[in-house]
Amino acid sequence: MESSKFKDIRAKLNKTQKELAQLLGVSIKAIHSYEQSWRKIPHHVERQLLFLLSRTYMSDGKQSDKCWDIRKCPEKMQKECPAWEFKAGDICWFINGTKCSGKAHNSWEDKMVECKVCKVFQNFFEV
């Protein structure tokens, strides 16, 4: 995640750097470093930030279709996917081990490469 995107999300969440640091479980200095591009944003911080943003959208009444409907996943594939198992089709990008391209990804970074071009993710984040 780029520092500008991080700042944009903080603004959308309407949080100060101190408030966001508390929500993410990091120091204010870390938030400064992420926003100034002095430090790379760790995957666990990016993941938590995106999760908070997705819940903000949900509380605004924005509903989304489930990923298995949007992607037209066959029933066999659905039953093998953690997003379907946990009824998390609106936040499939958050769930590790999803099998959108037939197999689970090796890392969060690999997963996000695929998710960022997926309609399910884009419905929330307009990347």
The pLDDT, as a whole number, for residue 16 is: 96
Which tens digits make up the pLDDT trace of 63-119? 567 889 988 989 988 888 999 899 888 889 888 888 888 888 888 888 989 898 888
Class of CATH domain 3-59: mainly alpha
> What does pTM read for this prediction?
0.76
The pLDDT, as a whole number, for residue 4 is: 94
Domain range annotation of the chain: 3-59, 67-125
Concatenating the DSSP letter of every residue in 54-97 gives HHHHHHTT-----HHHHTT--HHHHHT-HHHHTT-TTSGGGSTT
